[in-house]
């Protein structure tokens, strides 16, 4: 019963703050609302018994990515609401498109709960000791390739951010 | 088969992910500031992650941890993408003094 209440509380918080990300005028407020959304999604991960993912989610998203966004917004001095509006036609079309997208997603996954529910044999599957074994046995190659991806993205970010001297 | 695991049916997780994903799509179309559009893309990635974890919680097979490893990789790719994307955005701002995407339509022609 408690998990149900926690689920609905976190869901309402996530949806509300996601809407505020889109509709708030100041970009800094958008970033802060997005942090709230990420914390509520981390709470969902805790409810679904995947503790490692919840911790990584908080560290990576709220700790690294959102700080990067805030840093860029403050460095570009964008924390004022000088953004001109789109026309009402485009706004209405955006809202209608979002609603249709939601309708399609909900209807196309309608038969998902007809499958038999198969819980994991090991209830502690979300802990770091179990996930680490899977990561280093079955997914060794993708793990190493992701390190190359990070290297490439780091080089790319430095190259793009450099002042052009030629 | 509307069996209930831990009190919340799977359909509610699907609805939550669909709503978050649609809010992301709506935000990409609604705003003109490129940074906000970027944040909405992050929101969509998170909706997909939530759906993956929910499906692995309810329909995991014998091992049941592949989806969580996949989510881990999605987070890694998202972090790399944000670093490169924000670097591109800084460059665009340096050249045009704006992050409004309607000024950046020169690629259309």
Q: Is A91 exposed, middle or buried (0-12, 13-18, 19+ CB in 10 A)?
A: middle
Q: Is the pLDDT of residue B106 over 90?
A: no
B8-41 tens-digit pLDDT: 888 889 999 999 999 999 999 988 888 899 999 9
User: How many structural domains is chain A composed of?
Assistant: 2
My answer on whether A62 and A132 are in the same domain is no
Q: Let me know if residue A147 belongs to a domain.
A: yes
Q: Is the pLDDT of residue A156 over 50?
A: yes
Does residue A37 contact residue A18 with C-beta atoms inside 8 Å?
A: yes
My answer on whether A140 and A73 are in the same domain is no
Q: Is the pLDDT of residue A86 over 60?
A: yes
Q: Is the pLDDT of residue A58 over 50?
A: yes
Q: Of A19, A45, A79, which residue sits at a domain end?
A: A79
Rounded to an integer, the average pLDDT of A137-144 is 91
- Please state the ipTM of this predicted complex: 0.89
My answer on whether A2 and A65 are in the same domain is yes
Domain hosting A6: range is 1-79
Q: From the CA of A72, how many Å to the nearest CA of chain B?
A: 7
- Among B16, B51, B92, the strongest candidate for a mutation testing the A interface, having the largest count of A CBs within 10 A, is B16
Searching chain A, which residue's CA lies closest to the CA of residue B64? A120
My answer on whether A67 and A132 are in the same domain is no
* CATH code at position A10: 1.20.120.1200
Rounded to an integer, the average pLDDT of B79-83 is 92
Q: Let me know if residue A99 belongs to a domain.
A: no
Q: Of A51, A79, A107, which residue sits at a domain end?
A: A79
Q: Is the pLDDT of residue A39 over 60?
A: yes
Cβ of B99 within 8 Å of Cβ of A121? The answer is no
Q: Is the pLDDT of residue B84 over 70?
A: yes
Q: Of A58, A79, A100, which residue sits at a domain end?
A: A79
């Amino acid at each position: 019963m408690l998990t149900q209440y926690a689920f609905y509380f976190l869901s309402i918080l996530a949806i509300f703050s996601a809407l505020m990300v889109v509709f708030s005028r100041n970009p800094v407020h958008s970033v802060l609302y997005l942090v709230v959304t990420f914390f509520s999604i981390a709470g969902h991960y805790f409810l679904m018994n995947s503790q490692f993912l919840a911790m990584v989610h908080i560290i990576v998203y709220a700790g690294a990515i959102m700080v990067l966004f805030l840093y860029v917004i403050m460095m570009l001095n964008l924390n004022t609401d000088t953004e001109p509006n789109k026309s009402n036609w485009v706004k209405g079309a955006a809202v209608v498109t979002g609603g249709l997208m939601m309708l399609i997603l909900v209807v196309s996954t309608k038969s998902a709960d007809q499958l038999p529910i198969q819980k994991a044999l090991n209830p502690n599957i979300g802990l770091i000791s179990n996930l680490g074994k899977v990561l280093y046995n079955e997914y060794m190659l993708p793990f190493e390739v992701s390190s190359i991806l990070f290297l490439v993205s780091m080089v790319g970010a430095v190259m793009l951010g450099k002042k052009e001297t030629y | 088969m509307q069996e209930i695991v831990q009190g919340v049916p799977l359909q509610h997780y699907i609805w939550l992910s669909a709503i978050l994903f649609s809010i992301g799509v709506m935000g990409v179309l609604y705003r003109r500031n490129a940074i906000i559009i970027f944040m909405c893309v992050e929101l969509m990635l998170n909706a997909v992650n939530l759906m993956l974890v929910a499906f692995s919680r309810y329909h995991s097979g014998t091992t049941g941890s592949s989806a969580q490893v996949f989510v881990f990789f999605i987070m890694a790719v998202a972090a790399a993408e944000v670093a490169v994307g924000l670097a591109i955005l800084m460059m665009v701002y340096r050249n045009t003094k704006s992050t409004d995407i309607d000024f950046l339509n020169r690629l259309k022609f």
